[in-house]
Amino acid sequence: MDPYSQLAQLHKTLEAMTKTVAGLENDILDALKENTELKVENQLLREKVNKLMTTSEVSETKTKSGLESLRQIYHSGYHICNMYYGSHRDADSDCMFCLDILDHFVSRASAIKKRADHAKTK
Ligand SMILES: [Zn+2]
């Protein structure tokens, strides 16, 4: 092969290589862009999850303190039941409606929460 043809061949090869390098550069830029977008999305989702977890913790303590205040009202001599709510209770005898509420307050609240969590996963 004469030197002129060799040079032309080399030139063609170089052009092909330049094209390949440009293509790879584009691919890398796309990957970097996608990586950044995924990082941002991941961060936002983490914040959302943290928020949801804090909210459910708060509602759990709310449930507990709600029960505690109902119990205090009951023990200070007032009805908390739907039947006699707010009226004076005979201190010597328990009201079965009030006791029923106190007994089932927590389990009812956690059952509602469980149902809500179940619905969330769907
Ligand atoms: Zn009662």
Q: Which amino acid is at 95?
A: C
pLDDT beyond 90 at 90: no
Tell me how far the alpha carbon of residue 82 lies from the centroid of ligand 1, in angstroms: 7
pLDDT digits over 93-120, tens only? 899 999 998 888 766 666 666 677 777 6
Tell me how far the alpha carbon of residue 108 lies from the centroid of ligand 1, in angstroms: 18
Specify the pTM: 0.42
Q: Residue 2 has what DSSP assignment?
A: -
Angle (deg, nearest 10), helices 3-75 and 96-121: 170
With cut-offs at 50, 70 and 90, classify the pLDDT of residue 87. confident
Tell me how far the alpha carbon of residue 68 lies from the centroid of ligand 1, in angstroms: 16
How many CA atoms within 13 Å lie on the side-chain side of 118? 6
Both structure tokens of 9: 């061949």
Tell me how far the alpha carbon of residue 76 lies from the centroid of ligand 1, in angstroms: 12
**Section 46-58 average pLDDT:** 84
The pLDDT value recorded for residue 67 is 85
pLDDT beyond 60 at 122: no
